[in-house]
Amino acid sequence: MDAPVHHASRFFAQSILAQTLNLPVRAIEFARGEFGKPYLPSFPQCAFNLSHSRDKMVMAVGFHLRLGIDIEAINEHRRFERLVKKCFSPAEQAYWHTQPLTQQIRLFYEFWTRKEALVKGVGRGIAMGLAQCEMDITCHDKFVALPHDENAMNWHTHLLTTQSNDYCTAIAVNAHSVTFHHKNWADYFPSPST
């Protein structure tokens, strides 16, 4: 991540967390877990995750659970075949190949963002092995297998709607019942009226 994006991401996260926790921004201090995932040592019950792609940034915040979020700009000119072979399980690859070409691109991003959100939620990142994080091809919001002693039954993913069809966004949580509240930057920081 380049320096301007890193600073903007940090400011964004600190601002949202300060608003959520009803604290001044200066009270939000980050630490990093074993694999680099940031957390709030003063508020261990608060989980958060941030993702950005091109000019979009999304953040998820929750309490008493683990979560991850991912947003990806859809690029129709990507080399999907190579990524599918590297990052999808054999069952996921077979399923992807049965889909019409017109649906393969969207399906790739739906699978990718769900897997990416999951590995971020676990806190291990891509090193966890995306191909070993096998989704249920009959019910895409669940996983059937995860590495590193993670219980696949505990994790669920959800696709989130965005204002643009040019992006795909997913969240992963290790909870069975979750309520989502969508807020825009302006919900936290309204523009002053002129």
Inter-residue contact 47 to 27 (CB < 8 Å): no
CATH number at residue 85: 3.90.470.20
pLDDT recorded at residue 189? 64
- Domain of 140? 3-175
Angle at which helices 90-98 and 80-87 pack, to 10 degrees? 150
Inside any domain, residue 183? no
Inter-residue contact 87 to 102 (CB < 8 Å): no
Tracing tokens 């604290």 back to the chain, one arrives at 23
Inside any domain, residue 41? yes
Inside any domain, residue 67? yes
DSSP β-bridge partners for residue 52: 57
pLDDT recorded at residue 186? 67
Inside any domain, residue 191? no
Inside any domain, residue 124? yes
Tens-place pLDDT, residues 85-137: 999 999 999 999 999 988 999 999 999 999 999 999 999 888 889 999 999 99
C-alpha distance from residue 115 to each of 8, 48, 145 (Å): 25, 17, 12
Helices assigned H by DSSP within the chain: 3-21, 80-87, 90-98, 101-122, 185-188
Kind and range of the H or E run holding 136: none
pLDDT recorded at residue 166? 92
Instruction: Give average pLDDT by consecutive 10-residue segment, the chain, 194 residues.
Output: 74 92 95 92 95 90 95 91 95 96 93 96 90 92 91 92 86 84 68 60
C-alpha distance from residue 135 to each of 36, 96, 124, 129, 155 (Å): 25, 12, 17, 13, 10
Domains identified in the chain, total number: 1
pLDDT recorded at residue 194? 47
Inside any domain, residue 34? yes
Inside any domain, residue 194? no
Instruction: Provide Rg for the chain, Cα atoms.
Output: 17
Inside any domain, residue 76? yes
